[in-house]
Amino acid sequence: MPSVYRAHCSNCKFTRDVLEDYVYVGEDGSITGLPHPEDDALKDIGLTWNGAAVTGRLVKESEMVCDQCGKLNGIKEIVLPAFALLNWVGLTATIIIVPLVFFLFESHLLQLIVGIGGILCVTIVYTLQLRRRVKSRDRVSDDLVCRYCGSEGLIPYPDFENEPDSKLLCSKCGQRTMEPDRDYYALS
């Protein structure tokens, strides 16, 4: 279910909705919107949130504002996997590190600290490697560059909405007079 924000032009009274949504990219490249709650929609196709992210098939579609020209840019970004603790690497690290720690250290506190620290270190390194691999296979994400003026200064709309004196370029009248409606937020 997409998040919906709204902006209105103080010059011509034009109103525009700004969307943010998660989609699933199928093996054939087809894109399917994920209704809210997204986790349940993924379960229906046999995946978890992290499982879809690991395969590089979970994508966030959002609109970003160019800080130079004020135009909205629809952007697709691949969702990277979260902390990968509950996986075969974490389990293997636990099986290897825990007995090793008990043989090497007599102090129970030291065993606990070194054991947990070792498992976390292995898991963090694995998570970073996994994220790097998913990024390297990414064929979906757009470059974070304005399609209209080439600026690299794109700001996610929710962040832009919170900036004082933020104004968008109105697509109807062509003036930079569209203001975020800070009181409007909906889930469609």
Domain residue extents for the chain: 3-82+139-187
What's the pLDDT score for residue 113? 84
Is the Cβ–Cβ distance between 161 and 17 less than 8 Å? Answer: no
What's the pLDDT score for residue 183? 79
Tokens (6 digits) for 33: 């919107």
Average pLDDT estimate for 155-171: 87
What is the per-residue pLDDT across 54-63, written as a single tens digit (0 to 9) for each?
888 888 888 8
Cis check: omega of the bond before 180, within 30 degrees of 0: no
As a whole number, the mean pLDDT across the chain is 83
What's the pLDDT score for residue 55? 83
Is 97 in a helix, a strand, or coil? helix
